[in-house]
Amino acid sequence: MIENQSENIENKENDLSDQENALENSTSKQELTTENNELSSQKTEEINTEELKNSISNNDARLEQLEKEHETLKNQYVRISADFDNFRKRQSRDQDDLKIQLVSKTLTAILPIVDNFERARQQLKPESEEAQALHRSYQGFYKQLVEVLKQQGVSPMRVVGQQFDPSLHEAVLREPSEDFKEDFIIEELQRGYHLEGKVLRHALVKVSMGPGKQNSQEEVEKDKVEGDIDSEENTSEDE
């Protein structure tokens, strides 16, 4: 009986030992599993961090590329916009110039008619009542024609007494004048006209050459007399 008890005690001790060993093995396995999980988690985090860095680097490079492309497209847009604006302005100027050329050509063809009206007005001197009525009718047509030219921007030049300007005037004759200095306009032979500030037709004019030969000779003789007087005065002072 004592032997049976002893065996039971030994069996219990063995069971306890086995349980302790099993517990230790289980604890070791858990610790090992935990360590493995931690290592795995650390490696995963390292891998994720590296991938995140690579992704950020790639995104930065892509963003830089997109910014360069945006700047290039922006510069192209600015150049195209400037070119189009210049083209639009040039087209507008060309259209204005063409319009002025067409109007100038038409008005220039009408100006000789105006010249003929003015010559007739200067020459005609109506005396009878019938002639005066005809003259008034003629004057009415002339005023209408002048008003149409005025509405189109045509204005006559006023040249008599003005200094000769080759950009506005065309000198047909030059002659001495007692009343006008040299290169001043004495007479208007054909009226000139402006169109919107530009020359539509140059004025044909007679230009002064200044005082004539007679005045020049008188000035020479006057200078000679004054010289003789000065010479006599100097002689008297020396004596």
- Cα angle 47, 51, 52 (rounded to 5 degrees) comes to 115
Tell me the pTM: 0.53
Distances (CA, A) of 216 to 59, 175, 210: 96, 14, 10
Compute the distance between CA of residue 102 and CA of residue 110 in angstroms, rounded to an integer.
Answer: 13
| Average pLDDT in the chain | 77
- Using the predicted structure, report yes or no on whether residue 15 has a pLDDT greater than 70: no
The tokens 């010249």 sit on which residue? 115
Compute the distance between CA of residue 2 and CA of residue 36 in angstroms, rounded to an integer.
Answer: 50
Contact 160, 186 (CB under 8 A): yes
Query: Is 167 domain-assigned?
Result: yes
Query: Is 229 domain-assigned?
Result: no
Compute the distance between CA of residue 21 and CA of residue 29 in angstroms, rounded to an integer.
Answer: 12
Q: What DSSP string runs through 46-112?
A: HHHHHHHHHHHHHHHHHHHHHHHHHHHHHHHHHHHHHHHHHHHHHHHHHHHHHHHHHHHHHHHHHHH
Lowest mean pLDDT among 26-40, 47-61, 112-126, 131-145: 26-40
Tell me what pLDDT residue 237 has.
46
Q: What percent of the chain has pLDDT over 90?
A: 20
Query: Is 196 domain-assigned?
Result: yes
Query: Is 217 domain-assigned?
Result: no
Euclidean distance between the first and final Cα of the chain, in Å? 192
Range of the domain at 195: 110-122+138-211
Tell me what pLDDT residue 205 has.
94
Q: List residues bridging with 163 in a β-sheet.
A: 184
Q: How far is CA 221 from the centre of its chain?
A: 62
| CA neighbor of 145 nearest in space, from 117, 181, 166, 165 | 117
The tokens 């065309």 sit on which residue? 170
Residue 170: CATH number of its domain: 2.30.22.10
Query: Is 168 domain-assigned?
Result: yes
Question: What average pLDDT does range 1-13 have in this prediction?
Answer: 55
Lowest mean pLDDT among 4-8, 79-83, 191-195, 217-221: 217-221
User: pLDDT digits over 108-151, tens only?
Assistant: 888 998 888 888 777 777 677 777 777 778 788 888 888 988 99
Q: How many domains does the chain have?
A: 1
